Structure 1
Amino acid sequence: MKLCLAPLVLMLAPIISWADGSNTPPSLVRAALDSCGFTMTDFYGGTYEIVKEGDPHLFFYSKLINPKAKKALSVNITFRCVNPATPEDFFKFSGSKLTDKGWVMDLDPDVANDSGMHNTFYLLKGKGWEGTGISQDVTNGDEENRTRRFGFCIPHDGAALCGGGDVAYLNDLKSSSLKQVVKMLETIEFIEPSTGAPMQK
């Protein structure tokens, strides 16, 4: 399949130091992803691609966030704009539903009753929005390579920015990148798509 890659605009902020001793310049990423134009602060120096082949268009984020982990995992997060966003989309991507009391976890009974998946619900909050996330453990396949996955959905004007990816190996949860991924997602601000024309890093 031929990929049509569009670049992203990055604005550099002052260099900061992290606990692992590395110096990483945070970058402000602007992306026009269909009707979900957004900015996001990347604290970790990741790489990005917009794939416009197919529908919906996809935004990919990739970074080895914890290089000193016992078993290092490259975090690969896929974003997509779902428009219009339905209750089924929130169920599918972030295991959630909106009630008159707010967001709650919503799973198939078989998944909800599988204690081995360690289903954990997250309420995400950013500037002008409240979204949801869920972490779940993979329970099949090669035990050595089983992972913890994180999915999310952030509603915006009838649409939703949804996605997810692996954040840890189950045999090295101490090195999980989940907190870093959530921190980055909560910097998302929605903008007019025309102001976020993506460009190459």
Structure 2
Amino acid sequence: MNADLIARTFDVLHRAGAEFAPGLTDDEFEQLESTFNFRFAPDHRDFLARALPIRDRWVDWRTDDMRSLQRSFDWPIEGIIFDVHENAFWPGAWGERPSDACSAEEVARRELASWPTLVPLYGHRYIAAATADGASPVFSAYQSDVILYGADLHEYVLNEFHRNQFEVNQPTTRIPFWSDLAEGVEPCAN
């Protein structure tokens, strides 16, 4: 994310009353990426390097305990597992659904492990981990109900904290499986 866009994004957040701590250091980024086995998307990393939003529903990468952070990472997957058990969620690309719940969950977890990581951002809003050079879209993930909340981090901040009307442009980066769910399309095989 270029410096001007970062400045405008933080201006929106300041006006919305967000609080900030100093940005994450390179060492902190490396520790988080190593601990949780992902890479921050470049725009997300640029954003968090400038300042770290804290309080409210923001993920506090510096002071949240590791179990809390892990629960935030697990939320999208566990929500889909819930829908596998309770709401008959089962993409055809996963093959025939096993008849017993334990086997169905095992297959679902194996399939979900191949999906790109969603990185917690704010509440149940997630930004895709680094998967491409383009800006990462932001999703609202609540079970298998996935909604595109912004084509990129700046658009997400505008939608969540500034606009009276929700506007989403077509993302330049598609995130396998998650974009399908957001578009109301059954996720395809990888």
Q: Same fold (TM over 0.5)?
A: no
TM-score by length of 2: 0.28
More helix by share: 2
Q: TM-score, normalised by structure 1?
A: 0.27
